[in-house]
Structure 1
Amino acid sequence: MEVETQSKPEPDCHRKDDQQQPQFHRQQQKPAPHSDDDDDDQQGQSIWVAYLETERNRRFDPVDGNFMSIFRDLLRSNAVNAAHDAAAAIDQAFADGWLPQRSMLKHGGDEGLADFVHLVYNLIFELAPLLAHDSAQHVRLFELLVELRKLPPRSFELNSNQYIPYINDPDFFDVLHEETRNCYPDDSEDPSSATFRQQWEAWINFSLFKARCVEAGILDQRTNPYGLPADQIVEGLETDPLPTLQAARDGKVLIAAQYLAVAGEKFHERLILVPRRAFNNNTNTNTKAAAAIALHRGRARWSLWAARLDFLAQHGGLSVPVVETLQMARRRVVALEPVLFPGMAMRR
């Protein structure tokens, strides 16, 4: 991988000390005569714009500077084909600039491509927590990842294994795991500080990006060592008592609801459809019995999640946007396994 000579500035979720945060994390804006929503939009954009500028300034390679411009243009664009065009531009940047200008990698295309893909993943997963989870920029960043997987396949070899970038390369899960670890909110942080709230906002943003990846099947690879992130659903829906601090309480529950609202089909498949198929398609007594137990447990957990979504929406002391997501998630859970909820199908 590329060796950096300077320390790397970290996105919002990586910073545990207000005094250490770079300027773009302080979200300071001059007053302007427009609505609060406009202010929020501009503040949100200032974070990721400044992050890309910081990345551009710390890299001396003009190819890297152009690369940051691709991401900036993607996140500023409203064009329908913005993600497709950005993916094509990223692929072209590798062919035209990245590899030819690196003499040590010029005759080692496999190493150069692996190095380049690692940079792409770093930028994607470091931008994800900086983009509001309900923003168009968040959606476009995810769409870019989808479009990268549609590119004409290149390949590279590492440790005698052949990989296709963005499809089955190991760096995806390495970077995803590292950013997940870095982004998790620090329980030791002062709950009254702006940093504490920012960490939870970043973790919500990052978790929804992962939920989108789950829904799209990007985490279905056999090489995925992490599986479905069901532990975050358990944290938000099955853990009592929930945190008393509003930011943490809203965050844990919202993330659980997001996973079910966005990627409920994947969790339903794992908990219910897979053991149901095993039960129906096997004649071996032991296998059939094991499948029946797994199906019973899956259906019980599915019913529990639906009940908790309903209870927390009514009695959880949560903010209005979280309640709305809980209600959406419950509708999704009921629709996926309506036999467990007689009478609910007509009311959803």
Structure 2
Amino acid sequence: MGSIRNVRPSRSNQPWIEFLDNEIANGDPQTPRHAMAKIFRRSLFSARGCLPSDAALQLDSYYHDTYLPAHPDLKDEDDKGMVAFLSGLYGVVVDLMFLIPYHHGLQYTVIDLLYELRNLPPKEIKVGGKICQIYEEEPVLELTMKEKWVVNNPTDDGDPEEVERRWLAWVNVSAFAARCIEAGFADHFEDSTIIPCMDISKALEEEHPPGIKRNCLIRVAVQYIMIAGTKICRAKIGRGKTEEQQRWLEKWKSWAEKLLELAEQNELEPGLTSEVREAHGTMVALQPHLFKFKR
């Protein structure tokens, strides 16, 4: 990790830049969220950019050099104010991921940042009576993602342009969630595969009329499979010995067959069709014994 990517993040017309600028202009300056927005804007999202490792140091230094000194009473709390700090950090991160396209380099840059935070000297806090290591095992990222998923789960109500915006944002944040799973950031979650499997099932087991919703549901499914397929397969199927694992094997096979059907129908947009084929190949490669091939 730690490399600068040529992502050109500073164009003022980009929605993620507008989001950060709005947070800085209108947010409460006393909150960690406001500070996180300022640090992101001047580091990873500035015209010059910076290394994710440098941005990680700036974020961590804010907590020790600014936040704690301004709230000395936090030193007596079990979590030492870290939950509020992390809520601000992860809240900004996830909100940005709704806006940054699923294929944009900035998604990888933010994943790099989360890696770099984990590489900082380990620090332990107590949350809910349990000792945990910040950036590594604390529950705040999981709670933040669950809250954002519930609030932002797209619906078909409203103006068509707004509906399309919601579904495209769902693709973006789902790709980020897949990258978090693949990177191991969700290994300590109670079950990091619940939402991915729900969304894959919705895309590949339910019937949806052609349109933006169908396209986005399929794209969400293939992103989860291509990016985090190995982790999902391992979590749900394992060695395939239990009845539950056998049921997931059958589901895995039916998902792969549906992807092949979608690809062969050739009714999707070209870019999506190629992603569907790639996702099908990933599923076959992970469980090859499920599929018979003609020579």
Q: Distance in 1 between matches of 2:192 and 2:269?
A: 34
Q: 1:250 aligns with which of 191, 201, 215?
A: 215
Q: What secondary structure does 2:122 align onto?
A: coil
> Once the two structures are superposed, what CA deviation does each residue of 1:249-295 show, in whole Å capped at 9, x if it has no partner?
101111011111111101221333243xxx4xxxxxxxxxxx2x344
CA distance 1:316–1:248, shift in 2 (3 Å): farther
* Preserved contact between residue 272 and residue 295 of structure 1 (Cα < 8 Å): yes
Q: What secondary structure does 1:75 align onto?
A: coil
Q: What secondary structure does 2:131 align onto?
A: strand
Q: Would you say how many aligned residue pairs link Structure 1 and Structure 2?
A: 285
Shift of 1:316: 6.3
Tell me which amino acid in the other structure corresponds to 1:229.
P
The equivalent residue for 1:23 is none
* Preserved contact between residue 33 and residue 91 of structure 2 (Cα < 8 Å): no
* Preserved contact between residue 75 and residue 141 of structure 1 (Cα < 8 Å): no
Q: Distance in 1 between matches of 2:289 and 2:31?
A: 59
Aligned residue runs from structure 1 range 133-282, under 5 A:
133-190=102-159, 193-221=160-188, 223-224=190-191, 227=194, 229-239=196-206, 241-244=207-210, 246-275=211-240, 279=241
Q: Distance in 2 between matches of 1:109 and 1:161?
A: 10
Percent identity at matched positions? 27
Q: Distance in 2 between matches of 1:217 and 1:225?
A: 10
Shift of 1:161: 2.0
* Preserved contact between residue 214 and residue 263 of structure 1 (Cα < 8 Å): yes
Shift of 1:162: 1.6
Structure 1 window deviating more from structure 2 (155-164 vs 58-67): it is: 58-67
Q: Distance in 2 between matches of 1:177 and 1:61?
A: 25
The equivalent residue for 1:307 is 257
Shift of 1:222: 5.2
Q: Distance in 2 between matches of 1:334 and 1:271?
A: 16
Q: Distance in 1 between matches of 2:34 and 2:195?
A: 35
Q: Distance in 2 between matches of 1:254 and 1:124?
A: 22
Structure 1 regions of 5+ residues with no counterpart?
1-37, 280-290
The equivalent residue for 1:318 is 268
Shift of 1:311: 0.8
Q: What secondary structure does 1:162 align onto?
A: strand
Q: 1:69 aligns with which of 21, 38, 61?
A: 38
CA distance 1:316–1:236, shift in 2 (3 Å): farther
The equivalent residue for 2:246 is 296
Tell me which amino acid in the other structure corresponds to 1:273.
G
CA distance 1:295–1:199, shift in 2 (3 Å): closer
Please tell me whether residue 112 in structure 1 is matched to residue 77 in structure 2. no
CA distance 1:118–1:295, shift in 2 (3 Å): closer
Q: Distance in 1 between matches of 2:266 and 2:152?
A: 25
Tell me which amino acid in the other structure corresponds to 1:312.
L
Shift of 1:235: 0.6
* Preserved contact between residue 44 and residue 51 of structure 2 (Cα < 8 Å): yes
Q: Distance in 1 between matches of 2:92 and 2:100?
A: 12
Please tell me whether residue 52 in structure 1 is matched to residue 17 in structure 2. no
CA distance 1:67–1:266, shift in 2 (3 Å): closer
* Preserved contact between residue 33 and residue 89 of structure 2 (Cα < 8 Å): no
Structure with greater Cα Rg: 1
Q: What secondary structure does 2:126 align onto?
A: strand
CA distance 1:142–1:183, shift in 2 (3 Å): farther
Cα root mean square deviation, aligned: 2.8
TM-score by length of 1: 0.74
Tell me which amino acid in the other structure corresponds to 2:196.
P
Q: What secondary structure does 1:327 align onto?
A: helix
> Once the two structures are superposed, what CA deviation does each residue of 1:314-337 show, in whole Å capped at 9, x if it has no partner?
326322221121111111111112
Q: Distance in 1 between matches of 2:31 and 2:87?
A: 18
Q: Distance in 1 between matches of 2:119 and 2:130?
A: 21
Shift of 1:76: 4.5
> Once the two structures are superposed, what CA deviation does each residue of 1:165-209 show, in whole Å capped at 9, x if it has no partner?
22222222211111111221122223xx32111111111101111
Q: What secondary structure does 2:44 align onto?
A: helix
Q: Distance in 2 between matches of 1:298 and 1:85?
A: 42
Q: 2:71 aligns with which of 85, 102, 119?
A: 102
